[in-house]
Structure formats: structure tokens, C-alpha cells
Amino acid sequence: MTRVLPEDLDTRLATRAVHAGQRPEEDPAGAIMTPIYQTSTYQQPALGEHKGFEYARTRNPTRDALERNLAALEGATHGFAFASGMAATDAVLRLLSSGDHVICGDNVYGGTHRIMTMVLERFGLDFSFVDTRDIGNVEAALTERTKMVFVETPTNPMMRLTDIRAAAELCRARDVVLVVDNTFATPVLQRPIELGAEVVVHSTTKYINGHSDVVGGAVLTTSDDLAEQLGFIQNAAGAVPGPLDCWLTLRGIKTLPVRMAQHDRSGRVIAQWAAEHPKVERVYYPGLPDHPQHELACRQMSGFGGMISLELGSLERARAVANGTRLFALAESLGGVESLIGHPASMTHASVPKAMREEMGLSDGLIRLSVGIEDTEDLIADLEQALQATGAA
């Protein structure tokens, strides 16, 4: 278990991003950067003695630094790094036992839905998927066996929000653990722990690392009891990241606050531009005043980020735009410095039955943008030329 250093909690977010969990090494040269401890084991000075490090599945100094840093960013007291976002979610779900019930948002990441229904149901866990935009639906789904509520906000690609504070109040009253997947917003734009959540999970693959060169995940918590169990599960199951990936992620995080500021700045401008564009039928972005949960977004987020979905009205137009951009690369994933464009119906959400997709508004004409940190005007010009190629509005 990696605990946050108390001095790291004294500082503000941008300072934590650069320094938390890391100290210049004393030996041999005082390196400013945390070294990559590329080792599987550690020499023990004598039988029964060691420096806290015995074997690298259990602990590694580069990973320790990343875990402390991530926990400090989220305002948590304990951090755990994993080999992927899904490994992090899997570890959280392994806190449960056969017979336990989980209430999960119905618009969560596809892989989260998949591990719940296709893997963990076989082990006797029971899942209910509800529309968590209305906390009344969560309350109505609670049973005596409910042990966890798992939400993602904003969701992908429909940009639906869950009121984290209201969910946390409901969970606390029933002794249920609230888990928030904070991958889309990051601790820069949304602070689930300050709003009352006990556990935060991340796919660090996305904004946290931010450079599209590492797959990773993390779990952060304020609960000593859950941290004890999570540390046990992390070591027992062993889905840990290697030291080089931890180091790359630490390096990526140093610029997280400045990157998020630019994603947010461009995201707002591009969403507004798209909302006024005759060839765009609808824009899904929590920062637009006509987003049905804009007021909640203003209350629980300090910015709206760079994820935008556009309804273009038909598969043909979606295809023309997805194939026609030059700066926006057609790719899965999100949150990197470079802009990406995706077609959820045929890419990330292809495994969701068409009827279910349509019910949630995820039509064949929907495209999703991950707005990078390039020049905003260049990005708009790229989208404009791709939209013009779709023909008459």
C-alpha cells in the first residue's frame, strides 16, 4: 500500500502534479527525476532484513512515486497503479464477494460493462444497470445485498452526468461504497473524493498520461480499510504496471493541469462553433448551456474538457467526416495531446446492440472528438473542410 506523503497534501494541484510523491534521489547523483527502477528484486542486507522492498510485484520505487502522486492529485490518501484501466476496475470489483449486488451506470465504458456481465457474473456477483442521471433510479435499485455503486461521469460518448454529491450521500447512508470512474474529467476538472466518493478509478491511458504511449490504470481511496484490501488484491492478482510505464505516466502527469486547461479551452470553442454549424444537427458537450445537465456540470466540474460528440444525421455524413479529417486521426482511445475522431457505433460501441444504442441516442450519425492541444483554429479548419466534403446540409 502506498500512502501519500503529508507534505504533498499541503500544496495545490499544479504543484502536486509536478512534485507529489517524488523527491530528488540522494544517491548517487541527486537526480531530479525519479529513476526507472528496472528490477524484479532487491538485495537484502541480511536474513530477515530489507528496506521495504522484497519483490517488484509487491513494490517498486518508481511505482510507489506514481501511486503517491496520483493519490495526492485526487486528494486521496492511498494509491494503487495497475497495468490498465480495466485491471484497476477489476481490482475494485474484487473487493466484493459472491452474492453481493452492484448498481452501475447504464452508459459506462464498454469494457466495464463487459467485465461485469461476461466475467464477474459467473462468480456470483449481481449487477443492475440504471440511468444514474436520476439518483432516484439508484435508490430504487438498492437492495439489502447492494455493496457498491459504480458511476462514470461524464459518460462516453453521450456526455451524461451523475450528481456525485447526491450519489455519495445516498451511499454513505446505506454503507455502500461509491466508485467514480474519473477518466474523462481527471482531478483537474472534477474532484469526486471532495464530493464524497470513497474510491476513484482511472484509465491513466487517457488524459492522465496524455501522450498515447502507455496503457495503465489506477485506484485511489481515502479508506484505510479498502486500501488494505486493495493492496492485498494488487499483490495477489499481480496486474501491476512495469517501471518504465510508471515513469512515462509520472512524466505525463507533470503537464496534466496545463494540458487540461488547453483541452478545455479548445473544447469550449469547438463545441460552440459546432453548435452554430448548419451541418451539425446536435452537439453533446456539458459546457453548452443547452446541455440538459449544464447546471450540474457547472456545479461539480471546474471545466468541461475536450470530449465532444456531434450528431451529423446519417452514417454517410459520419463516415465522410471521420474519413475526411487530416489533423484529427481516426482512432479509438482519447485524452492524448493529439486530436482524435471516432465513430462510436462502429468502433467503441459496436458490441452494444443497435436497439440499445439508439435508445441512448448513440446513432450511426454520431461522431466523437477528442480535442487535442493543437491550435484551435487549425482544428476548426480541419473539421470545416471535412464537413464541407459531406455535400449539401
Ligand X SMILES: *Cc1c(COP(=O)(O)O)cnc(C)c1O
Catalytic residue annotation:
57, 109, 181, 206
Shortest CB 104 distance to ligand X, Å: 12
Shortest CB 381 distance to ligand X, Å: 28
Shortest CB 335 distance to ligand X, Å: 8
- What gap in Å lies between CA 35 and CA 262, rounded to an integer? 29
Kindly tell me which residue out of 8, 74, 90, 152 binds ligand X, with binding defined by CB under 6 A: 152
Q: Which is nearer to ligand X, 183 or 390 (CB)?
A: 183
Residue 314: Cβ within 10 Å count: 14
Q: Which is nearer to ligand X, 206 or 291 (CB)?
A: 206
Does 164 help bind ligand X (rule: CB under 6 A)? no
Does 150 help bind ligand X (rule: CB under 6 A)? no
Kindly tell me which residue out of 107, 203, 212, 266 binds ligand X, with binding defined by CB under 6 A: 203
- Going by C-alpha positions, the residue among 320, 95, 102, 344 that lies closest to residue 227 is 95
Q: Which is nearer to ligand X, 178 or 387 (CB)?
A: 178
Does 206 help bind ligand X (rule: CB under 6 A)? yes
Shortest CB 219 distance to ligand X, Å: 12
Does 151 help bind ligand X (rule: CB under 6 A)? no
Cell triple for 57: 510485484
Q: Which is nearer to ligand X, 179 or 379 (CB)?
A: 179
- Going by C-alpha positions, the residue among 54, 110, 59, 104 that lies closest to residue 80 is 59
Kindly tell me which residue out of 102, 185, 188, 215 binds ligand X, with binding defined by CB under 6 A: 215
Does 110 help bind ligand X (rule: CB under 6 A)? no
| Binding to ligand X, residues 179-198 (CB under 6 A) | 181, 183-184
Does 266 help bind ligand X (rule: CB under 6 A)? no
| Binding to ligand X, residues 60-99 (CB under 6 A) | 84-86
Does 107 help bind ligand X (rule: CB under 6 A)? no
Shortest CB 89 distance to ligand X, Å: 6
Does 132 help bind ligand X (rule: CB under 6 A)? no
Q: Nearest residue to ligand X, using CB?
A: 85
Residue 146: strand pairing partners = 101
Does 109 help bind ligand X (rule: CB under 6 A)? yes
Shortest CB 183 distance to ligand X, Å: 4
Q: Which is nearer to ligand X, 84 or 300 (CB)?
A: 84
Q: Which is nearer to ligand X, 76 or 387 (CB)?
A: 76
Does 349 help bind ligand X (rule: CB under 6 A)? no
Shortest CB 238 distance to ligand X, Å: 16
Q: Which is nearer to ligand X, 208 or 296 (CB)?
A: 208
Q: Which is nearer to ligand X, 34 or 112 (CB)?
A: 112
* Number of residues lying near ligand X (CB under 6 A): 16
Shortest CB 156 distance to ligand X, Å: 6
SS (H, E, C) the chain: CEECCHHHHHCCHHHHHHHCCCCCCCCCCCCCCCCCCCCCECCCCECCECCCCCECCCCCHHHHHHHHHHHHHHCCCEEEEECCHHHHHHHHHCCCCCCCEEEEECCCCHHHHHHHHHHHHHHCCEEEEECCCCHHHHHHHCCCCEEEEEEECCCCCCCCCCCHHHHHHHHHHHCCEEEEECCCCHHHHCCCCCCCCCEEEEECCCCCCCCCCCCCEEEEECCHHHHHHHHHHHHHHCCCCCHHHHHHHHHHHCCHHHHHHHHHHHHHHHHHHHHCCCCCCEEECCCCCCCCCHHHHHHHCCCCCCEEEEECCCHHHHHHHHHHCCCCEECCCCCCCCCEEECCCCCCCCCCCHHHHHHCCCCCCEEEEECCCCCHHHHHHHHHHHHHCCCCC
Long-range residue pairs from 52-56, CB within 8 A, at least 24 positions apart, any chain: 56/243
Residue ranges that bind ligand X, judged by CB under 6 A: 84-86, 109, 111-112, 152, 156, 181, 183-184, 203, 205-206, 215, 217
